């Protein structure tokens, strides 16, 4: 593997189509596509300032690096990424990618990030301003995510999340086969139109959660006082510890709760309209 150490590059495609490079203490200045169409790249203690540095890359490791705001849309159309201990200051990262792992990564400006990615693993990652995070992604495993940002995980499939804190409005819309364990999810309109959403040992907050859902399962969950008007038109089996502010027009299944403030079953309920609500 060729070593490039303590160098600076800029302009258009300075390392285009290279294979088998290790970059140490390298700075990529303003320009475009510094490492486009590359393979087997390692970057450590590097700084990326120019646009689109990693496009169409196959097999690369990034450790203890910085992607400044100028490195917009830095990683697209690539595969087999391991990124560790890195700060990503730019939005629109990670698009149309396969097999990527992020460990101890911080993304403070994560709008429109992780779109249409397949085979994603996140471990101890912090994300802020993460609006529309994970749009249309699949086969995702997450442990220890701290997220601030709205409209996350829309249209996702096959997602497993553990030990996370998600502050996110409109999360998990139109998802399929998503399971969340031991986590906090705070935000309005959670899980609308989802299929196969499962929540285990989770705390839920935000108005009108879990409506229009099919195959919704909740095990040993709690709900905040603002989580009102829950389960409208949903097919649900839920075991909820403690108080639920209000339940409105669930379609079918069974809801068990310690206490329910209000049960609304009106003329707008949809068939089969046979959901059992059991107050323990």
Q: What is the pLDDT of residues 112-127, one digit of tens each?
A: 999 999 999 999 999 9
- Cβ distance 136 to 117 under 8 Å? no
- Give CB contacts under 8 A, 24+ apart, made by 175-183: 178/153
DSSP 150-191: SSTTTT-EEEEEES-EEE-TTTTTT-EEEEEES-EEE-SSTT
**What is the per-residue pLDDT across 126-175, written as a single tens digit (0 to 9) for each?**
999 999 999 999 999 999 999 999 999 999 999 999 999 999 999 999 99
Alpha helices, H only, the chain: none
pLDDT bracket for residue 1 (50, 70, 90):
confident
pLDDT bracket for residue 64 (50, 70, 90):
very high
Section 9-28 average pLDDT:
93
Which 8-state DSSP code applies to residue 270?
P
Q: Which pLDDT score, from 0 to 100, does residue 280 have?
A: 85
């Amino acid at each position: 593997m060729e070593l490039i150490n303590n160098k600076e590059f800029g302009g258009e495609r300075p390392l285009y189509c290279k294979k088998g490079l290790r970059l140490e203490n390298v700075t990529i200045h303003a320009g475009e596509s510094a490492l486009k169409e590359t393979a087997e790249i390692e970057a450590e203690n590097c700084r990326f300032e120019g646009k689109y540095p990693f496009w169409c890359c196959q097999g690369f490791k990034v450790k203890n690096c910085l992607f400044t705001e100028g490195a917009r849309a830095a990683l697209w159309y690539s595969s087999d990424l391991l990124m560790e201990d890195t700060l990503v200051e730019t939005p629109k990262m990670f698009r149309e990618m396969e097999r990527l792992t992020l460990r101890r990564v911080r993304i403070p400006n994560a709008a429109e990030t992780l779109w249409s990615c397949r085979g994603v693993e996140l471990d101890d990652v912090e994300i802020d301003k993460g609006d529309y995070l994970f749009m249309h992604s699949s086969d995702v495993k997450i442990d220890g995510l701290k997220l601030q940002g709205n409209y996350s995980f829309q249209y996702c499939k096959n997602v497993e999340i553990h030990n996370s804190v998600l502050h996110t409005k409109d999360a998990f819309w139109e998802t399929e086969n998503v399971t969340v364990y031991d986590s906090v999810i705070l935000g309005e309109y959670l899980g609308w139109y989802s299929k196969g959403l499962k929540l285990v040992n989770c705390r839920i907050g935000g108005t009108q959660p879990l409506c229009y859902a099919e195959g919704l399962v909740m095990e040993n969950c709690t709900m905040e006082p603002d989580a009102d008007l829950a389960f409208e038109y949903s097919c649900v089996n839920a075991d909820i510890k403690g108080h639920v502010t209000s339940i409105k027009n669930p379609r079918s299944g069974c809801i068990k709760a310690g206490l329910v403030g209000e049960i609304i079953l009106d003329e707008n309920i949809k068939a089969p309209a046979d959901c059992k609500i059991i107050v323990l």
